[in-house]
A = this chain, B = another copy of it.
């Protein structure tokens, strides 16, 4: 054994910590526990029979190319189909603005790789997706948190912070925003708020990293334009993924940005995994081309809507006075706020005894705040389990009170 690894880790390696979620998830794998801690899509939405058919065709018609190395930028057909879809939504992009990634999490690794030096600042919501915070942390980013209101990141506070930083001669490398059905808060940013944030970022000359994995899972209300589309200054990097609207097991995501940024991401990706599995890209391209994607999306939305409704109605029925929660218009998560004197970590201990689990809201807060909050996933468990889980959780809350 080498004398002391602790002396030779990089700064990044030294500071890496096991994900709080992962460690908690281990606790919650007892079969008697109803766990709402993960973020898994419902397996009943996986189109296994269609995939079987398409996969056999890929082997037959393009097996040799599918099993070979592919271009770092991604499969030409898949990129083209995705670009067309975004253009139909209103985005002004070409194929050179989009590359395929091995999961959108890879985008959360490569974007900081090309922008962040240790000690650089970035701005994120309080709360924000944990996997993004972990990656930014691994690059040594100093995270500046901005609170959300019911419309997402507060533009007044963002403006104050950007001005304050400017006075100090500082500038964040980017503002990280999850505008649609935010993870973990379940909040969606309306167009006027998106525009306020764009105006601020243009004024202070700061990039926006728009992470939108849940965008297409909308239960009600009108779709919001992406920040990428609303911005006309090429100031936005947009991440997308199939994980929640097709299958997560293929790990297919993508990034859309101006060509100069895409060029750097391609170079960074090359040294990271050379290319995303061409086999899975070809299956995905054919799944879209055959119309299965659009055929199935409605069904996925309807399944998740029912599951959300089950959880929301149970919350109304069982939760004691003083507890509030978000009512997401889409996505996979809702966020519960306990009375301010209560501690979700203490609730967790009681909840485990009641055979129900969740994620502490504090892990999504880069400043460690949010100790009275928790995240519940409603996509994985059945409607009945969502109800029963909330009943157990409400019991735990009452016991803690």
Contacts and interface: CB of A to CB of B under 8 A. Distances in A.
A12 interface: yes
Contacts of A205: 2-3
A263 B18 CA distance: 9
Interface string A245-278: 0011111000000101101100110111111111
B103 A11 contact: no
Contacts of A103: 273-274
A234 interface: yes
Contact of A135 (B40, B52, B271): B271
22 contacts: A1-B233, A9-B115, A10-B114, A10-B116, A10-B120, A12-B114, A13-B115, A19-B267, A41-B68, A46-B68, A48-B67, A51-B67, A52-B56, A55-B56, A56-B56, A67-B247, A67-B248, A68-B249, A105-B271, A138-B271, A249-B278, A273-B273
A286 interface: no
Contact of A280 (B5, B11, B16, B277): B277
A335 B268 CA distance: 27
A70 interface: yes
A207 B108 CA distance: 29
Interface stretch (A58-66, A145-153, A341-349): A58-66
A35 interface: no
A234 B274 contact: no
B248 A69 contact: yes
Contacts of A17: 267
Interface of A is mostly: helix
Contacts of A3: 205
Nearest to A19: B270
A368 interface: no
A8 interface: yes
Nearest to A72: B22
B40 A138 contact: no
A67 B250 contact: yes
Interface string A9-35: 111110011110010000000000000
A102 interface: yes
A307 interface: no
B59 A117 contact: no
B59 A51 contact: yes
Nearest to A201: B2
A9 B114 CA distance: 6
A1 to B, nearest CB: 5
